[in-house]
Amino acid sequence: MAKILLQEQGKLLQEVTIIGDTTRIGREQLNHVQLTDPRISRYHAEIHRRGCCYTLVDKKSTNGTRLNGTPLREPATLSGNDTITLGDYTLVFQLDAADTPETVHPSTFDASATIIDTVNGQSAD
C-alpha cells in the first residue's frame, strides 16, 4: 500500500498508510492526516486512489498546495517520492511495490492474444 511520510522542517512526524479510496488532509479533526498549521485549510487537499493510480486534489484551500514545488492548479497524478507541500509541512508520497503497475515490454506482449469484437464491444478470447 502507498504511504505518506509527514515531515515538518525535515523531521519525520508521522507515517500514514493510505488504506481507503480517499485520504483527506487538513486542519479539521475528521481528516485522515490532521495538520495544525493555521495556514492549512480545514479541508485542504485529498489523495484519491483508483486501482493503482493516486491523484492529488487541492480542495480550494486558501494558501494552496504544491506538488514537487509547483502550485497545484488541477488534479495531478502522484508518482513515488513526490513531495506535497502545505504550509510548513512536507508530505512525501511513497508507493509500495504492489502499487507500481507492471511494465509490459513490446517483446513480451502478444497482441494476437487479445481480440476485441468492435461490433459487440466484447473480448473474443
pLDDT at residue 52 in the model: 85
* Grid coordinates belonging to 74: 488541477
What is the Cα–Cα distance from 53 to 31, expressed in whole angstroms?
A: 21
What average pLDDT does the structure give for the chain? 87
pTM given for the model = 0.77
Of the two residues 100 and 63, the one the predictor is more confident about is 63
Sequential DSSP letters for 24-90? EEESSTTSSEE---TTS-TT-EEEEEETTEEEEEE-S-SS--EETTEE--S-EE--TTEEEEETTEE
pLDDT in tens, 64-120: 999 999 999 999 999 999 999 999 999 999 998 766 655 555 666 565 665 566 666
110 SS3 class: coil
pLDDT at residue 11 in the model: 94
